[in-house]
Amino acid sequence: MHLFDTWLCFGFLSLVNGLREYDKKDLITLREEVRSMFDHAYSSYLTYAYPYDELRSLSCDGFDTWGSFSLTLIDALDTLAVMGNFSEFRRVAEIISARADFEANINVSVFETNIRVVGGLLSAHLLSRKAGINLEPGWPCNGPLLRLAEDMAKRLIAAFDTPTGMPYGTVNLKYGVPEGETSITCTAGIGTFLLEFGTLSRLTGDPLYEEVAMNAIKALHYYKSNIGLVGNHIDVLTGHWTAQDSGIGAGVDSYFEYLAKGTLLFQDPLLATIFHEHKAAIEKYIRREDWHLWVSMTKGQVTLPVFQSLDAYWPGVLSLFGEIGDAMKSLHNYHRVWKQFGFTPEFYNIPQAEAGTNREGYPLRPELIESVMYLYRATGDPYLIQVGIDILRSLQHSAKTTCGYATINDVRDHRKADRMESFFLAETTKYLYLLFDPDNFIHNSGQKGEIIETQWGQCIVDAGGYIFNTEAHPIDPGALYCCHRSQNLFSDQKATLWKFIPVNDMKEKENIEHALYPKDIKDTNDDKPIEIVKLSEMRHTSVNNVENNNNKNLINPLPLINGKVDEVIAIEEESKINTNNPEALSGSLCQEEPESLKVQVAAPPSGIYKADDSENIDTYETYTTSDGHYPTSATKNNTESFIKQNSIKSRFEPQILLENIRKRIYIQQIILQK
């Protein structure tokens, strides 16, 4: 209550002269309110829900959702470090590190498990040093959390053993891809592995992970339509699109995000090319005014005129490439929707200005605040602080319960549902905190870092430029240059990594393989590329497990390529998913949630809170050009001069920082921390 009063007070004062300036003290007050929000939700999880995956924030107990690996604990771990609670970070890291592996007879989503578990573990591993953990010799190329991340990735990688290289949506953590598993996967479920798997490869020196992730991206890109768009769901055995709606939101979103962030993290020109190619098609067909709609991937005509809550990550991605004007315009639209309801509904019908039928919920998603955080870093525009405050106020007013924060079941009446997804602690609270904490170490853009010695030589860590995975787990890009083994592998052998070749061209592939793989990385026994044999082994091990539980080590690689072609033809069948069906675009997920996740709903509150509409939300336009809008490309010159005048960074730091790290031009300027 005290914090709330304080806010009202300075909020009022700053309105007196019509300006919204937030000084450091104001921001710290807001930041501390976010910390309390995190603490309330986090300690409730520990008290009521641990060791289950998630907290049920109305019934004050726990349940397993995406696996049974205390998901919220893993997902929240690096947020503790971001908020500076290193003692709790160390306590939890120790608990998690005590785990031997993830072997369990459960079916999990490959996508969700990668972004939440593998991403969370990698990020925590890279933050361990900063948090004061006793490091194993060889860090960051070694350590218990890294080993666990690799263990999980190995289990997930069984899903990639398909003729196209695109993964199945589900694996069993003990047995691999379940018998009879559908071969239909959503686009995001295929193209959202590179940040985690690439990091894993660079740290462990095993190129397999990066290779399969890149391969899946190349496959998606290969199957794009003639007009450069990708659909929503594809058959990973045949490359046949089964849901042809193309947009930037649910089912697709993080594919584009990983192309953009992969470009920055790995400095890979191929990813940049693919991203810009898709982006041009998005601009041409999907973007209408400053909204992004759903269109047919083949013709580009509108199939669904909706904004999705998940779309709101897009301005953040644009800001990574300095496209601040377009980003602000979209963000402004999204903020209007937020103010209409006090939250963004999963779907918003743009022509009717209504929440989408059966998609009226707000499960505490981070995408809007994520973009706000990036854009505030890029512009310093106080309008963005105002948006952050709107989000904070809505959560405090309508989502808070006695034991956490609850999903909003319906944004029109603010009824709550009995669930707090782990991304509330991994992402939503983290981005809010970072918005209000300009001095956070995460915002370091290379002013200081630390040189560490590894057995492969020197490298720089903690120099900032963090790249967030799609679950807001930050990756320290400097650390990727620490493990000499991988430097060797990636500079010398990159050209030998398996290139994506579609099923039809399988014959050609065999020829190309002979040209691609030099003798030394071939498996001498059966003349197959070593990585492909490994994948086969992985799958075959799983099969053996099913047949003979105790015979895990019996590895008997099958020829992958030849063995698969018949199967493809046999399995090719008509899609079960109806094109143009909005049901196909169900959240960021590739599959419907199990029945067990249906949750209890609470009665609506007596008063519905919405972000205050009495204030002019267009205040940001005081920062714009003469026509009263953030400029489009037509007035780009004005933007640039505006940005120069206001010494606004036109690019987000990681891009610049990474260039610096790569060139190693500023090593001398690094201030060594003691």
List residues binding ligand NAG (CB under 6 A). Answer: 39, 42-43, 85, 88, 105-107, 172, 178-181, 637
Which residue in 26, 53, 206, 253 is the catalytic one? 253
The token duo for 526 is: 């059966």
Evaluate the omega torsion of the peptide bond into residue 140 and state whether it is cis, within 30 degrees of 0. yes
Strand partners, 355: 348
Q: In the complex with ligand NAG, which residue's Cβ is closer, 372 or 538?
A: 538
CB of 341 to ligand NAG, least distance (A): 32
What residue type is 271 in one-letter code? L
* 206 among known catalytic residues: no
Written in H, E and C, the secondary structure of 420-483 is ECCHHHHHHHHHHHHHCCCCCHHHCECCCCEEEEECCEEEEECCECCEECCCCCEECHHHHHCC
Nearer to ligand NAG, 87 or 600 (CB): 87
Q: Kindly report the three-state secondary structure assignment for every residue of 470-503.
A: CCCCEECHHHHHCCHHHHHHHHHCHHHCCCCCCH
Token couple for 233: 């769901």
d(CA 440, CA 426): 16
Residue nearer to ligand NAG on the CB measure, 28 or 106? 106
- Distance between CA atoms of residues 546 and 108, nearest Å: 17
Q: With 0-12 CB in 10 A as exposed, 13-18 as middle and 19+ as buried, what is 443?
A: middle
Catalytic residue among 112, 360, 476, 531: 112
Task: Give, to the nearest 10 degrees, the angle between helix 119-127 and helix 194-204.
Answer: 50
CA distance 18 to 396: 26
CB of 434 to ligand NAG, least distance (A): 16
Nearer to ligand NAG, 36 or 488 (CB): 36
Longest CA pairwise span in the chain (Å): 79
C-alpha closest to that of 179 among 602, 542, 598, 550: 542
- Minimum Å distance from CB 96 to ligand NAG? 15
* Cβ-based nearer residue to ligand NAG, 39 or 450: 39
Q: Measured from the CB atom, is 105 or 301 closer to ligand NAG?
A: 105
Distance CA 174, CA 155 (A): 7
| Euclidean distance between CA atoms 227 and 246, whole angstroms | 11
**367 carries an active-site annotation:** yes
Active site includes 418? Answer: no
Cβ–Cβ contacts within 10 Å for residue 322, how many?
A: 17
CB of 80 to ligand NAG, least distance (A): 7
112 belongs to the catalytic site: yes
Q: How far is the CB of 105 from ligand NAG (least distance, A)?
A: 5
DSSP string, 238-254: T--EEE-EE-SSTTTHH
Smallest separation, CB 85 to ligand NAG (Å):
4
Would you say 470 is a known binding-site residue? yes
Name the residue nearer to ligand NAG (CB basis): 180 or 269: 180
Nearest-approach distance from CB 102 to ligand NAG, in angstroms: 14
In angstroms, the CA 369 to CA 435 distance is: 8
Q: Could you list the residues known to form a binding site for Ca(2+), using ranges.
A: 470
Annotated binding site: 470
Q: Please identify every residue annotated as catalytic.
A: 112, 253, 346, 367
